[in-house]
Amino acid sequence: MKIDILTLFPEMFYGPLNSSILKKAQEKGIITINYINIRDFTTDRHHQADDKPYGGGAGMVMKVEPIIKAYEAIPKNNSFTIMLSPQGRKFNQKLARELSQKEHLIFICGHYEGIDERVRQLIVDEEISIGDYILTGGEIAAMVIIDAVARLVPGVLGDEVSAEEESFSDLLLEYPHYTRPRNFRGLEVPEVLLSGNHKKIDLWRKKQSLLNTLFRRRDLLKVRGLTKEEKILLWQGFFELAMLIDEIPERSE
Ligand code: 4GY
C-alpha cells in the first residue's frame, strides 16, 4: 500500500509512523509512506500556505493552490484521497477494513481554521472524522487512521491471524490477558489459564468477552446478536458472578 501525506508539519509524523509495527512494515516494503510539505508548493516570495478568510473572521485558511499543486505532483493511477475533519464520516473498524483494500491513499491534513472549500470539491474522495472533538490539525487524525488501516494490510502483523481474530472483527470486546508472574502482589492469574486445557481456555475467554461486552458495550451486543450457545455461556458467567455473593461474610444487622 502506498500512502502520501500532504501537510505543513511532516515532522509530526516521524516518531509515530517510524516506530514499532509500522516501522517494520515499511522496512519489509509492505507499506510505503511519503511526506509532502505543502509549503514546498507555494509560489510567492514568503512561501505563504495560508491567508485571511474572505468575508472576514478569526484565524487563517489554508490556500487552495499549494494543496492542488502538491496533489498534482504525486505519481498516481488508482488513488483514494482523504481529508480529515470533524465534518467527515465517522471512522470505525468497518471503514478501516474498506480503506485497507485500497492500493494508494492520499491524506490531506488541514491546520488553522480550515481548508479552502475548493480543495474538497476538486480532489477529495472522502472526508473522515475520528470523533466528535476538535483537534488543532488533521495530522493526528491521519496517524490514527493510518495505524488502524495499516495493521489490516496482509503481512503487516507478524501473526497473520491476529488482525481479524481480534475483538472488533467478532464484534465483541477482548477477554483479559495475563503473562508471568502467576501472582503479582496477591493478584492471581485465573487457574483455568494454567490448566493447558485449550477447549476450556477458549470457552473461558469467550465467556469473559461476552460478559465484558454486556457490561461495557451493550450497544455492540444488540447490533451483533447472540447465538443460543453464547446466551448459555453468558448465563453461566452470570451465575458464577452471583456465587461471589456467598464469599462475602455476613455482617450483623
Ligand atoms: N475530529 N477528526 C479532526 C479534527 C482539526 C481545522 C481542519 C477530527 O478528523 N479530524 O478535529 N481536525 C481540523 C482543524 C482544519 C482540521
87 has a pLDDT exceeding 90: yes
Please give the grid coordinates belonging to residue 57.
Answer: 473572521
pLDDT for 159: 65
- Mean predicted lDDT score pLDDT of the chain: 96
Q: Give the tens place of pLDDT for each residue, 106-132.
A: 999 999 899 999 999 999 999 999 999
Residues 6+ apart with CB under 8 A from 225: none
pLDDT for 170: 84
Q: Give the tens place of pLDDT for each residue, 185-208.
A: 999 999 999 999 999 999 999 999
Residue 76 phi/psi, 5-degree rounding, is: -160, 150
Q: Ligand 1 centre and the CA of 243: distance in Å? A: 49
- Atom number in ligand 1 closest to CA 134: 11
- CA torsion sign for 66, 69, 73, 79 is positive
164 has a pLDDT exceeding 70: no
Identity at 125, one-letter amino acid code: D
Higher pLDDT, 134 or 112: 134
Q: Ligand 1 centre and the CA of 9: distance in Å? A: 14
- pTM for the model: 0.95
- CA-based angle 22:25:26, to the nearest 5? 90
Residue 77 phi/psi, 5-degree rounding, is: -135, -25
Question: Averaged over 54-71, what is the pLDDT?
Answer: 98
Annotated binding residues for S-adenosyl-L-methionine, written as ranges, equal 110, 130-135
pLDDT for 227: 97
The answer to whether 107 and 140 are in contact (CB under 8 A) is no
Closest residue CA from atom 14 of ligand 1: 137
pLDDT for 158: 79
Q: Is the CB of 82 under 6 A from ligand 1?
A: no
Q: Ligand 1 centre and the CA of 113: distance in Å? A: 9
Q: Is the CB of 134 under 6 A from ligand 1?
A: yes
pLDDT for 222: 97
Residues 6+ apart with CB under 8 A from 233: 203, 206, 207, 210
